[in-house]
């Protein structure tokens, strides 16, 4: 697994790519072509999970509080 600084850099690049709507990226002599926004979103989600694991954070429980507004 990559170090935290590398993961954060990759996350920032992917978020920038998604915001610009770019589908192909070149860096360090490599080229990556994404098929859709969903694929970029999945890659961002994976990086966010790796970053959370590297920082020792995990979501263990999610609680919902709903109301009908009455």
Look at residue 65 in the predicted model and tell me its pLDDT: 83
Look at residue 12 in the predicted model and tell me its pLDDT: 92
Q: How many other CB atoms sit within 10 Å of the CB of residue 14?
A: 21
Taking the model in full, what pTM does it have? 0.65
Tokens standing for residue 54: 């590297």
Q: Please write the tens of the pLDDT for every residue from 1-60.
A: 678 889 999 999 889 888 888 777 787 888 888 778 888 889 999 999 888 888 887 667
Look at residue 59 in the predicted model and tell me its pLDDT: 63
Q: In whole angstroms, what is the distance from residue 22 CA to residue 19 CA?
A: 8
């Amino acid at each position: 697994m990559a170090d935290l600084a590398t993961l954060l850099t990759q996350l920032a690049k992917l978020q920038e790519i998604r915001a610009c709507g770019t589908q192909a990226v070149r860096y360090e002599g490599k080229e990556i072509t994404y098929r859709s926004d969903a694929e970029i979103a999945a890659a961002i989600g994976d990086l966010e999970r790796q970053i959370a694991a590297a920082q020792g954070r995990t979501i263990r429980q999610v609680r919902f509080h709903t109301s009908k507004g009455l």
